[in-house]
Homo-oligomer: A and B are copies of this chain.
């Protein structure tokens, strides 16, 4: 072997391919000829074959990374494997989803806890997923996500990939700067978006400056319980700018958070009254404001009892923030969208979408400017404004419509360019600069994407130790990229190979996303996830993540009529029958139907479906659920297992018989 290897090395410069081909087995050579022939027939270039080799993932081979992408107004989270770019699973969050039974008897109390103003709201606009972190690295335990349309935050447990909690923000009805976590997931940050009077109470738009307010909420996370602890959470009042994205400081900037904003013009629109429309009025000024907030200090202020109760929730008012020195502003170029903290926590990168530069702030300079106490002025609400020049480290011209920035492990930053439809790779400076061949703070490459990229996401890209390798461009328009699917087209999630230095940064896969509109995504190394394959024990309560003492057990199945006129059904499910198979109730009965999937095999899911009564559940091995309904319609209703579980799956059914009054 070593002899042959030497020969290879010697002749490689001239005849490498020929020799390599000849040295391979006949079968291998035939296969490679097949590859080229098939490629030719299908119109693939050799570059396409390179991309195919980088992304094709054969049966049974697992992906290296999982991308958790928000579903946008689909209201869900979508998990995508990288590099295959295959959609592994949706996770139902804000919108009922019948395949998972979410909202059709299962999870109803979690959804109901999030109803705004007590009104049933059965969808969400999921925007920014955030993986839980330990010391600034994803730890694979939890996933959080915000709902922009009603200002809510959801908690997903990554042991079973199910939503466990939805909290409604009591102050605002619209959020955007969230979710983002502090480096040890002590708090989940939820910044508002469109300002409203607190509690979304009514006030005429003419009272905008007086009564409308922005906010940022710090939801305390109880990692042990896996729940947001509302009793230890609080908010900060902010001016009625439209706070946009946010990021938490890390390492040197741990304890701070950064929110940008737009519409510091406080435009109130009204095109129909000959006012400038929002798109013009909110874009008038040359700069908006980056909010620099000392959240650790804010926690102390809150704990010292200096917050006011507003809408039943503790709020640190603007006056208190000013008195305590919690919030500083600094100008940022026009209508910023993203603010992203570099891996070491030392720089904050802001993109003003109407400015072709990214603006890089130095945390060191920010600290010094705050310490100096010399501000260039105050905003209309009395917040101190740090002088732009005193805190900026660099501005890099990257292209048109810069939005969001992600980071690699090697001194590169990546910024999405909406108007250019491109991803810019540029170099950081400071201590990062040493690892790139190019000069500091310089544009290196722009790779075209298709089309209108919003967020981008790099592998472990929001952590203190980004992986590089892959970057996903979440493009908003796909136009001609795929077959036309009627007037409504999928988004296009493009995978870029960022493993090489310099200008080599090709698109290697186009993934249509036709089940929602992902806004943002985080990408975690797959081996950090350690999900359950089956529930730990039979009779598992998936809300409490513990055994349900009331769970139906084998040999104790029954239909039990109670003294109060209610009926409890205790049912088990196993391939391939339910027990009991006949459930007889009377019209008007209130029925509590408890089911346990008593299987212990991986993937042995049973569905449970009842007609007319709008009931569907997905019961994974060990899971127990209770579904309640009023048997108000008499009749004969065949229920059945809705998840194809065995050769005798069709026989896994029974009859609900509701006898008329």
State whether B581 touches A272 (Cβ < 8 A).
yes
Chain B residue at minimum C-beta to C-beta distance from A602: B479
- Counting CB contacts under 8 A, is A18 at the interface? yes
Q: Interface 1/0s, chain A 161-203, versus B by CB < 8 A?
A: 1100000000001101000000000000000011011011111
A31 within 8 A of B: yes
A627 within 8 A of B: no
- The distance in angstroms between the C-alpha atoms of A18 and B212, with both chains bound, is 74
CA distance A159 to B488 in the complex (A): 11
A33-B20 CB under 8 A given contacts A200-B611, A270-B581, A614-B123: yes
Given the known inter-chain contacts A73-B607, A119-B614, please indicate yes or no for A636 contacting B487, CB distance below 8 A. Answer: no
Within 8 Å CB of A337, what residues of B? Answer: 650
A25 CB to closest chain B CB, in angstroms? 9
Q: How many residues of A contact B (CB 8 A)?
A: 199
**Interchain CB contact under 8 A, A53 and B49:** yes
Does A550 lie at the interface of the complex (its beta carbon under 8 Å from any beta carbon of B)? no
Answer yes or no: A100 CB below 8 A from chain B CBs.
yes
Segment at the interface with B among A365-373, A434-442, A511-519: A511-519
A107 to chain B, nearest CB (A): 13
Say which residue of B18, B150, B158, B485 sits within 8 Å of A22 (CB atoms).
B18
B612 touches A150 (CB 8 A): yes
Is A638 positioned at the interface, with any CB of B under 8 Å from its CB? yes
Q: Tell me if A633 and B119 are in contact (CB < 8 A).
A: yes
Q: Which residues of B contact A90 (CB under 8 A)?
A: 514-515
Complex interface residues of chain A between 601 and 655 (CB less than 8 A to chain B):
602-603, 605, 607, 609-614, 616, 618, 620-623, 633-638, 640, 642-645, 647-648, 650-655
Name the interface residues of A501-549: CB closer than 8 Å to any CB of B: 507, 510-517, 519, 526, 529, 531-535
Residues of the B chain whose Cβ atoms lie less than 8 Å from the Cβ of A602: 479, 489
**Given known A-B contacts A202-B634, A581-B271, A640-B194, A283 and B611 have beta carbons under 8 A apart:** no
A60 touches B633 (CB 8 A): no
Kindly state whether residue A486 has any CB partner on chain B within 8 Å: yes
A35 partner residues in chain B, CB cutoff 8 A: 35, 46, 49-50, 52-53
Nearest CB of B to A114, in Å? 12
Contact of A202 among B89, B151, B635, B653 (CB under 8 A): B635
Known: A38-B54, A642-B149. A531 touches B271 (CB 8 A): no
Given known contacts A35-B35, A62-B482, A116-B611, what 7 new A-B pairs fall within 8 Å (CB)? Answer: A35-B50, A117-B635, A160-B488, A212-B636, A271-B577, A279-B577, A484-B531
Q: What B residues does A605 contact at CB under 8 A?
A: 487-489
Please name all residues of chain B whose beta carbon is closer than 8 Å to the beta carbon of A123 when the two chains form the complex.
96, 98, 104, 614, 616
Query: What residue in chain B is nearest A643 (Cβ atoms)?
Result: B517
CA distance A75 to B102 in the complex (A): 13
- Is there an interface contact between A283 and B648, defined as CB atoms closer than 8 Å? yes
Complex CA distance for A88 and B482, rounded to whole angstroms:
8
A161 touches B485 (CB 8 A): yes
How many angstroms between the C-alpha atoms of A49 and B33 in the bound complex? 11
Q: What are 18 A-B contacts defined by CB distance under 8 Å? A: A15-B22, A18-B21, A18-B22, A27-B46, A31-B47, A49-B49, A57-B510, A73-B643, A88-B482, A121-B614, A123-B614, A125-B609, A200-B612, A200-B635, A200-B636, A203-B636, A262-B650, A476-B645
A73-B609 contact in complex given A22-B17, A658-B202, C-beta closer than 8 Å: yes
Task: Name the residue of chain B whose CB is nearest to the CB of A622.
Answer: B487
Most buried by B among A32, A87, A401, A657: A32
A222 interface residue (CB < 8 Å to B): no
Q: A87-B514, A99-B72, A577-B279 are in contact. Are A32 and B56 (CB under 8 A)?
A: no
| A432 contacts chain B at the CB level, 8 A cutoff | no
The residues of B that contact A579 with a CB separation of less than 8 Å are: 271-272, 277
A482 touches B53 (CB 8 A): no
Q: Does A29 contact B (CB under 8 A)?
A: yes
Assess whether B603 is in contact with A489, with CB atoms less than 8 Å apart: yes
Structural contact, A279 and B652, CB atoms closer than 8 A: yes
Query: Are B28 and A621 in contact (CB-based, < 8 A)?
Result: no
